[in-house]
Amino acid sequence: MSAGRRVVIVGAGQGGFQTAACLRQEGFAGSILMIGDEPGLPYQRPPLSKAYLKEGDAARLELRPRAFYERLGIELGMPNAALEIDRQNQTLHTADGARHPYDSLVLATGSACFRPPVPGAGLPGICELRSLKDADRLREALKTARRIVVIGGGFIGLEFASVALQAGHAVTLVEALPRLMARAVSASLSSAFARFHQASGLTLRLSESVTEITAGAQGGYCVALGSDQIECDLVLMATGVRPNVSLAASAGLVIENGVSAGRTLQTSDPQIFALGDCASFPDPFTGRRVRLESVQAAVDHARLIAKNIAKQEASVYGALPWFWSDQGGWKLQIAGLSLPGDDEVLIERDGRPLSVFRFRSGRFVALETVNGPSEHMAARKILQAPVSLSRKDLEERDFDLKGLAQTLAKGG
Ligand SMILES: Cc1cc2nc3c(=O)[nH]c(=O)nc-3n(C[C@H](O)[C@H](O)[C@H](O)COP(=O)(O)OP(=O)(O)OC[C@H]3O[C@@H](n4cnc5c(N)ncnc54)[C@H](O)[C@@H]3O)c2cc1C
């Protein structure tokens, strides 16, 4: 019986929204309150570095219209920041002075951009990209900027750089590591993307670190890479994020690269769950504690948490991680989670990179594809199935994942 129970969700982003929606899908009849510190309705972030930069249509970002929340009886408390969790009295304190009692509390506080300790990184006007407000500032800056420096060669830096190049800007991207997206993809795909972006006009400075940013003589900025200087009108810091854990930490919850959640996504306090960007959890596929910054993780975490709260169950998390990134006409998709040191086999068709198979101890663990959505979906099916494929198995089948997925579906 859930009618008299109260769920409070902190963070009205991807995972907060999904938890509220799934609670109702699971038949939860108690009260649901979502507290978020951003104005407006919950929205999706992925388009902020892609279509939104070109179109600027904020209404299309909203995850659901206001009527959805009204119809499902989901109370929206925005904008309002959660300040303190009184665990003893199971009450959340918010910035407006209110006290919100809860039976279950869900922490969906996401992450915040990280600025490396480089002199000048905090100069006024230097951009970052996390929120709708950040994207609006960038869109405005793009109207007058000609020369752009992007610091950081991960997904967001590269997606933004692609959009800026397509719009005719001169873009230099600086990455301290020797290859692009090094945390996320194989060396083969890093190289393929580097060649692709350079062919589109990107000036790439790999293995180089920004040592200082100063204000330029005629406005704009001067980005120093040691003795080398790059003059520009706009700087985007795309140097990663850090999980928002201060609320959880000050309540005494265990923090391990994020709010530490167990297999049921409960934190060190069983009444409190954590999800998405702010949470680390035991990943059954790698056997490691991981923290993932992806829509998939936020959504699948939310589904499990909603089920566990609504049905008062202790089901265990087991969703396969998957990711995507859109960069200038190349759609990168990753099924599964690879680790540094995993073997890689690049399959090229017609001279273009199509897919990279990743193997750990000879076992197929992840697939990276470029513009290969059906292979990606086949890999997701196979990696979630109770079968273990070796490199030899795949070689014998000419790496035909679609054929294999069909065979599996027929019970072969
Ligand atoms: C520009 C950009 C592009 C992206 N592209 C992709 C992509 O292509 N594919 C992909 O899989 N993922 C992508 N991501 C990542 C994806 O959007 C995140 O992983 C996802 O939003 C995480 O969901 P979440 O609920 O954990 O956090 P969020 O969606 O970030 O929501 C957290 C919310 O909590 C609020 N909050 C924090 N602290 C408090 C507090 N104390 N009180 C109240 N509210 C609080 C925050 O302000 C925020 O609104 C992208 C992210 C960005 C920024």
Tokens representing 8 are 């409070």
Confidence at residue 345, expressed as pLDDT on a 0 to 100 scale: 95
Ligand 1 site, residue 107, Cβ cutoff 6 A: no
What the block records as the tokens of 23 is 């609670």
- Do the beta carbons of residue 19 and residue 106 sit within 8 Å? yes
Which atom of ligand 1 lies at the shortest distance from residue 95's CA? 42
CA of 293 to the centre of ligand 1 (A): 8
* Residue 296 CB burial class (10 angstroms; 0-12, 13-18, ≥19): middle
- Distance from residue 191's CA to the centre of ligand 1 (Å): 28
Residues 379 and 401: beta-carbon distance below 8 Å: yes
Q: Which ligand 1 atom sits closest to the C-alpha of 292?
A: 19
Q: What is the pLDDT at residue 410?
A: 79
At 173-185, the pLDDT tens digits run 999 999 999 999 9
Q: Which CATH architecture has domain 6-112+241-311?
A: 3-Layer(bba) Sandwich (3.50)
The per-residue pLDDT for 326 is 97
Residue that the structure tokens 């065979």 belong to: 407
pLDDT digits (tens, 9 = 90+) for 217-257: 788 999 999 999 999 999 999 999 999 999 999 999 999 99
Could you give the CA distance from residue 257 to residue 371 in angstroms, rounded to a whole number? 32
Question: How many other CB atoms sit within 10 Å of the CB of residue 96?
Answer: 11
Domains 6-112+241-311 and 132-237 are alike in CATH topology: yes
Confidence (pLDDT) at 412: 59
Q: DSSP label at 185?
A: S
Amino acid (one-letter) located at 34: M
Rounded to the nearest integer, the mean pLDDT of the chain is: 96
21 CB less than 6 Å from ligand 1? no
Q: How many CA atoms lie within 13 A of 206 on its CB side?
A: 16
Question: 1.10.340.30, 3.30.420.10, 1.10.10.10, 3.50.50.60: which CATH number matches 132-237?
Answer: 3.50.50.60
Among candidates 76, 79, 66, which has minimal Cα distance to 38?
A: 79
Residues of the chain falling short of pLDDT 70 = 1, 351-353, 412
| The pLDDT value given to residue 278 | 98
Distance 348 CA to ligand 1 centre (A): 34
pLDDT number for residue 351: 64
Ligand 1 and 15: CB distance under 6 A? yes
Q: Which CATH architecture has domain 329-411?
A: 2-Layer Sandwich (3.30)
The pLDDT value recorded for residue 405 is: 86
At 349 the pLDDT is 74
Tell me how far apart the alpha carbons of residues 335 and 367 are, in angstroms, rounded to a whole number.
5
SS3 242: strand
Q: Is the minimum distance from the CB of 134 to ligand 1 under 6 angstroms?
A: no
Give me 21's structure tokens.
């929606």
Alpha helices in 89-174 (DSSP H): 132-142, 155-166
Distance 44 CA to ligand 1 centre (A): 8
Locate the domains of the chain by residue range: 6-112+241-311, 132-237, 329-411
State whether the Cα torsion 250-295-184-113 is positive or negative.
negative
Question: DSSP states of 4-68 as a string?
Answer: T-EEEEE--SHHHHHHHHHHHHTT--SEEEEE-SSSSS-B-SGGGGTHHHHH--GGGGBSS-HHH
Please give the Cα distance from 145 to 148 (Å, whole number).
7
Give the ligand 1 atom nearest the CA of 279: 26
